[in-house]
Amino acid sequence: MGKDVIIACDFDSKAELIKFLDKFEDESLYLKVGMELFYAEGPAIIKEIKSRGHKIFLDLKLHDIPTTVMKAMKVLSELDVDMCNVHAAGTIAMMEAAIKGLTKADGTRPLLIAVTQLTSTSQERMTEDLLIDRKIDEVVSHYAMNAKKAGLDGIVCSPLEAGKVHAECGSEFLTITPGVRFADGEVGDQVRVMTPAQAREIGSDYIVVGRPITQAPDPVAAYKRCVSEFVG
């Protein structure tokens, strides 16, 4: 399980996504679809991508009462996505309900991963806005352990944290890591970045790469470079 490059499809419309996918011909890709595209295009966009033979990480970050999350996950599972996610802040009971909703009659289910603290949340904001007075890395570790206890498959984290997460939660617990840039590429708005090769070294299971591939002059070449650096 694992070791794959997931392309973050942060496109504004279905037309742009299809234009991008058409460049790849027969290649089977792993694509991250986020809230913007899903809310704009609805479940039809998932069916369209699946019919082209690609895998999907549906990044909707569910966070609600356990029953609602369970029912919503049942709907997503029927869409045949390969990976989806929840906020660990929803509690262990909510994460357990998510797994229950995702699990199909035959016992199989998409991978389920947790978001711990968003990287946009600073220590200061966590303390002052959320009244959580522990250190942020302690909160991230604790939420990761909660996700593991609930039976989830892994968490989203920085590639810089992947080693620590594996040390604390076990090597089988998946780390899905954005913030990846080529050594000779532009960093853009990402702050702490790693190359695909460094992410592999540190033990990331999946890297999530957007603009270095989607905005590259030759996206197919950029994707292939990413795969060869990360997967080998």
Catalytic residues: 61
State which H helix or E strand residue 206 sits in.
strand 206-209
Applying CB under 6 A, the span of 16-24, 44-52, 93-101, 204-212 interacting with ligand C5P comes to 204-212
Here the tokens at position 40 are 């704009």
Residue 103 binds ligand C5P, judged by CB under 6 A? no
Here the tokens at position 215 are 């905005």
Smaller CB separation from ligand C5P, 8 or 21: 8
Tell me which of 68, 91, 103, 119 binds ligand C5P, using CB under 6 A: 119
Smaller CB separation from ligand C5P, 115 or 150: 115
* Min separation Cβ 20 and ligand C5P, Å: 13
Residue 114 binds ligand C5P, judged by CB under 6 A? no
Residue 150 binds ligand C5P, judged by CB under 6 A? no
Residue 209 binds ligand C5P, judged by CB under 6 A? yes
* Min separation Cβ 187 and ligand C5P, Å: 9
Q: Check if the beta carbon of residue 58 is closer than 8 Å to that of residue 33.
A: yes
